[in-house]
Structure 1
């Protein structure tokens, strides 16, 4: 057994019975017509934590029809922005009131630590409030210099019916990066959460109803990618699909949506580097790297799963990260001191382990970990904190998204090599740079092919600042004003004043 900080104790009360997650269609909670349900077994505790309705094409069709009708009759888009914002703000209040209830079920379904679930679920309220503010400040443009008899206007209108497909790793947060912004724009929605973490999305349906959202404006269909997700991305009555998940599925959605030329917004995978220059403040950088690779059990699209370290400090820096990694608290997600919990499924854990073993077989060196971690009383669906050095850019562990608590280390000699290694990836979600020289940081930020670049920090995020990737990390943006405008269509309006237009057809 590694000399690790493992915590088995539990301090948060467990629910007495599984949560019953149901569809929310046209303002009504309902089971599937065929009665099918799926059990979600907690990866950390091995108990059935929730039972969710399994949707079919019938439920998906009903939800899309409800959203289409609600959009076309204007019950939501026709409201003033003030009234829409009032509903969104009520939802934010209800999220905060239900933070603990949401966090407990999310921890048990996903395996993430309760402290991180609380931050995710409670913190999502701020996204809803910011979206509400955007609803009230949205505006178009006017052009009054086109001639004294012409007035031009650019209007921004809701795109229509939006399908929202969310993943299992941040089910409530990622939903809140999409849904309130779509609603703020005046769209109607159909939401499909991951079948592994359906419950917090179903709980949100209760809050939407209590906040007074009109029936049909937001519909929730539980179930699997086939058939529910497939229909949500191909149906002719859907105007836009926004998806967060794997790059492979994102490509499939893009192809499927192309048949009806839907708008598609994608937030996909990442292989995100932190680049540490020789003049970096190493203690701060080592702490940020440790946080970046172990947060949410490493199951995070923004995980800093590869670091690129100047060769002069590589040994010292790796030693610092290894020492910190031994102090990170792994174990029972239901204890507030736990920092790293369980892996979401046994199959995913096997995939993580495979990447590590293949790298070692190819000549990489294990500095720490590299195997399954058994937590007393909870079992072995946990993975050791793992650091692998001697990695070459061609190895799968350096190029593919491992999605676990595994850090790979590459080294560089000069600025140009650091940039080249950073950009030598099919992904372009985020990157980080550590240097006390502001010119180095700015030059790197300009050259890095990534949607977000952090300098001397990692994973600081704000509702005001757009998020999204380049290359195969996705298209479009979420949150911020740019994320809000993804859900708007631009319409030009040209008005002639009076009868000043000269006739085209000569009548005399």
Structure 2
């Protein structure tokens, strides 16, 4: 396995800035050891980065579309060339199993950035005619990108590749919990020939660096991914300057299994959709809705599937669930498991106890609850861990009602005969639905309804988020 990167420091105006003063430790959640540190950025660092982005904006916005597309394409190629290093770094800083880090964390950003380049290469409509008006799409300006720890590179690329393609300049604040992958990305951007100041990186905490970016009068847009609570705060702070805010927030996604589904496949893929990345996914299929007549069989299948999710050392190729990202996150998940038991759900697999033989690391056992009622805490709140809630329903209408009875609406799934499954998918109030295990599409829009946020990422939909629309009457 490749060695993880320990690249640290801000990147401001094309210069590496190590920063002065306090630093933030990066902890390996499997070993509980400090593996690196990054500077705790300050409002002054934000001011410098925003000034660099503002100074670079006019030149980058005027760069021909073909050149911007080529730069994004080179970023995609650069990420592909460093796949193993990226995977090792993600595993070290946030605990994702190395197989998942390699095939998802390090590989999907290659596809999504290539997808953005393709949008430009195949002829994006920057202008159109409507009556006596010329309608023009222009870059919005300086973008603050604030990204989470659970998919540290994936979420950076989703924002930065699209913003660069649109002609915007960027200040990135990655999560201080898993910031090291951002350093690799900054190197790839520089090697791709992106001019100094177009991309800037400032490490630090949300209350200091994040809020300074959201409030900054020279930032034209904030693109944020994280918890719904933090998203509300970003919106509040940004509202003082009436800047655009795009939010990709939490989820409590439902997987509706219809009575004509292949039950074995539906449950197997449903568990797989709940447990990836240790369940630390905003689009995790954490609620499985099953017909009453099939519930006992579905629970048995889910328990058997969960038993195959080995918990352990994330550097081991056979591990399927690594540690939670931190002790705080581990304790949060364990508390939710206890809450499920307390409220009367049946613990079918797993539980709050530490996995056997793992005395060090922030580990949680993969857990399956049956007999879950829609009003229970574990059916309503985002747990962000390997915890599956199985609920029963009497008919299709009730299944849809339960699925939609949530403050969230990010993702979902339906299993059944295609015509019925598609009809149910259209009734779900959520931004993305997989039918019978439909594969991820890097050109399709991703984003949420309700308190899962607003705006979309990936493909032309992601590009459009970073554009203003002007009409010129003639």
Query: With structure 2 as the length reference, what TM-score do the two structures score?
Result: 0.97
* Alignment pair present for 1:339 and 2:320: yes
CA distance in 2, matches of 1:448, 1:406: 22
Q: Which residue is 2:244 aligned to?
A: 263
1:373 shift after superposition: 2.9
CA spacing shift, 1:273–1:385, aligned 2, 3 Å: same
- Contact 1:369-1:385 within 8 A present in 2 as well: yes
More off after superposition, 92-101 vs 177-186: 92-101
* Alignment pair present for 1:236 and 2:196: no
1:122 shift after superposition: 2.7
CA distance in 1, matches of 2:150, 2:46: 23
CA spacing shift, 1:141–1:218, aligned 2, 3 Å: closer
Deviations 1:386-409 (A, max 9, x none): 011111111111100000000011
More off after superposition, 49-58 vs 60-69: 49-58
Deviations 1:284-304 (A, max 9, x none): 111111211110000000111
* Alignment pair present for 1:475 and 2:461: no
Deviations 1:240-287 (A, max 9, x none): 000000001111111111111100100000000101112110121111
**Which of 19, 22, 25 is matched with 1:36 structurally?**
22
**Which of 384, 394, 414 is matched with 1:413 structurally?**
394
1:380 shift after superposition: 4.6
Q: Which residue is 1:76 aligned to?
A: 60
**Which of 364, 367, 379 is matched with 1:386 structurally?**
367
1:101 shift after superposition: 1.0
Give the unaligned 5+ runs of structure 1: 1-11, 496-508
Q: Which residue is 1:135 aligned to?
A: 120
CA distance in 1, matches of 2:129, 2:364: 60
CA distance in 1, matches of 2:380, 2:310: 28
* Alignment pair present for 1:450 and 2:436: no
Q: Which residue is 2:10 aligned to?
A: 23
**Which of 423, 426, 434 is matched with 2:404 structurally?**
423
CA spacing shift, 1:226–1:321, aligned 2, 3 Å: same
How many equivalent residue pairs? 472
Q: Which residue is 2:45 aligned to?
A: 59
Query: With structure 1 as the length reference, what TM-score do the two structures score?
Result: 0.90
Larger radius of gyration between Structure 1 and Structure 2: 1
Q: Which residue is 1:126 aligned to?
A: 111
1:45 shift after superposition: 1.8
CA distance in 1, matches of 2:356, 2:313: 8
- Contact 2:336-2:383 within 8 A present in 1 as well: yes
1:217 shift after superposition: 0.3
**Which of 485, 489, 507 is matched with 2:468 structurally?**
489
CA spacing shift, 1:442–1:14, aligned 2, 3 Å: closer
Deviations 1:450-495 (A, max 9, x none): 001111116x322210000000000011112111101011011122
